[in-house]
């Protein structure tokens, strides 16, 4: 081959190599360093988003009692906005968005051989955790607590209560879906009994500290609530986006469990996995209601969205198709509901104006 042709070939191959590397860099998921406030950013303009929709989004968030709002794309911060006196170090409760933390922790405990979600929950809490007979208790599995299908009586005066007298028989397990707070909360006791150490300690060691989150579980009445800053919620969203792997560290290796956790877990409410809410399904139920609604949970959001949704509109959205994580903390933007609200759909209208 003549020298001039060799030179041209070298230039072409070099260009193709650089182009491939640039594409690879663009596709690589970024993870912020542990124990650091440093976090790489990109601008709205860098992504070719609609910059004219940025301020209307902020106006909407502020008008709807938002404290913190973050958008990640490929792990990098695109939007980070705080309102009023709330700042990057301010602490807020996740409310029921933290159920996703518990679901992850159960998966790790199962992976490590401490429990099986198909075993009766009484195996780990002991017989007598409810007012049911031992035979009735033995039919309720850990999976039922994860999927809100325990059959426990949701008409009791306070379904947040975790005392045995508050857990009464109503339906056979797996025959009815209802958002029963107490039945969820005792998953803490299940994990504690299974792993032989306090749930909080186990969670901190297995998830929080490994991905650089801050925050803590705080017992508030019967509830065990998680409090953290906004970026800690975003970090967990990034872990969920990457299906249980943080950079080079695998937090949850059981891919079957992760897939089951983030897909329809039963036919009674197709928009619910293991404590994760799911979009794009044919029907859904919401907390506090017996009604089965037809259609998607959040019509304006991408169909593959999975989410942690908490009272007073705490939102953690994970959208794999767009490589995005979005979180929102604050007070109620619309209704004082426990999980999904109309605010989700209204917020996604504004988000779509920005990213499309």
Q: What is the pLDDT of residue 271?
A: 98
List residues bridging with 69 in a β-sheet: 81, 328
Q: What is the pLDDT of residue 60?
A: 98
Check residue 207 and report its DSSP letter.
I
Q: What is the pLDDT of residue 339?
A: 82
Q: Residue 317 burial by CB count (10 A; 0-12/13-18/19+): exposed, middle or buried?
A: buried
**pLDDT one-digit tens code per residue, 79-94:** 999 999 999 999 999 9
Task: Could you please state the CATH topology (level 3) that the domain comprising 33-91+198-266+277-356 is classified under.
Answer: Beta-lactamase (3.40.710)
Q: What is the pLDDT of residue 334?
A: 72
- E strands, 19-146, are 66-73, 76-82, 92-93
Return the structure tokens found at 155. 């008409």
Distances (CA, A) of 9 to 18, 20, 60, 292: 14, 16, 54, 64
Length of the chain: 356
Return the structure tokens found at 316. 């953690």
Q: What is the pLDDT of residue 336?
A: 67
The domain locations on the chain are 33-91+198-266+277-356
List residues bridging with 306 in a β-sheet: 278, 318
Distances (CA, A) of 329 to 150, 174, 203, 262, 293: 30, 33, 22, 22, 26
CB 238 within 8 A of CB 231: no
SS3 245: strand
Phi, psi for 145 (deg, rounded to 5):
-65, -35
Q: What is the pLDDT of residue 337?
A: 74
Please identify every stretch of the chain with a pLDDT value under 70, giving residue numbers as ranges: 1-26, 336
SS (H, E, C) 277-320: EECCCCEECCCCCCCCEECCCCCCCCCCCEEEEECCCEEEEEEH
Residue 148 φ/ψ region, left for φ over 0, alpha for ψ in the -120 to 50 degree band, beta for the rest: left
**pLDDT one-digit tens code per residue, 275-297:** 999 999 999 999 999 999 999 99
Question: Taking the CB of residue 80, how many other CB atoms lie within 10 A of it?
Answer: 16
């Amino acid at each position: 081959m003549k020298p001039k042709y060799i030179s041209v070939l070298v230039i072409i191959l070099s260009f193709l190599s650089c182009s491939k590397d640039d594409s690879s860099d663009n596709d690589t998921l970024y993870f912020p360093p542990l124990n650091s406030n440093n976090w790489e950013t990109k601008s709205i303009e860098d992504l070719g988003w609609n910059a004219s929709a940025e301020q209307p989004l902020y106006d909407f968030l502020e008008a709807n009692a938002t404290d913190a709002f973050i958008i990640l794309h490929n792990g990098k911060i695109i939007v980070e906005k705080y309102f009023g006196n709330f700042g990057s170090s301010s602490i807020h409760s996740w409310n029921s968005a933290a159920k996703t933390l518990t679901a992850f922790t159960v998966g790790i405990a199962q992976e490590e051989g401490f429990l099986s979600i198909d075993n009766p929950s009484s195996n780990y809490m002991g017989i007598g955790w409810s007012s049911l007979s031992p035979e009735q208790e033995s039919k309720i599995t850990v999976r039922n607590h994860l999927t809100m299908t325990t059959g426990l009586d949701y008409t009791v005066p306070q379904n947040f209560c975790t005392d045995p007298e508050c857990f009464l028989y109503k339906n056979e397990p797996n025959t009815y879906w209802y958002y029963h707070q107490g039945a969820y909360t005792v998953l803490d006791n299940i994990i504690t009994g299974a792993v032989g150490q306090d749930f909080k300690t186990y969670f901190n060691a297995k998830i929080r500290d490994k991905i650089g989150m801050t925050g803590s579980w705080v017992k508030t009445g019967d509830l065990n609530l998680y409090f953290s800053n906004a970026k800690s919620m975003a970090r967990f969203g990034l872990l969920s986006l990457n299906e249980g792997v943080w950079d080079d560290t695998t937090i949850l290796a059981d891919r079957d469990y992760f897939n089951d956790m983030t897909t329809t877990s039963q036919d009674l409410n197709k928009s619910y996995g293991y404590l994760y809410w799911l979009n794009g399904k044919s029907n859904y139920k919401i907390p506090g209601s017996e009604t089965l609604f037809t259609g998607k949970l959040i019509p304006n959001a991408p169909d593959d969205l999975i989410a942690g949704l908490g009272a007073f509109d705490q939102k953690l959205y994970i959208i794999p198709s767009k490589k995005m994580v979005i979180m929102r903390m604050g007070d109620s933007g619309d209704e004082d509901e426990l999980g999904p609200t109309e605010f989700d759909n209204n917020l996604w209208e504004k988000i779509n104006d920005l990213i499309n």
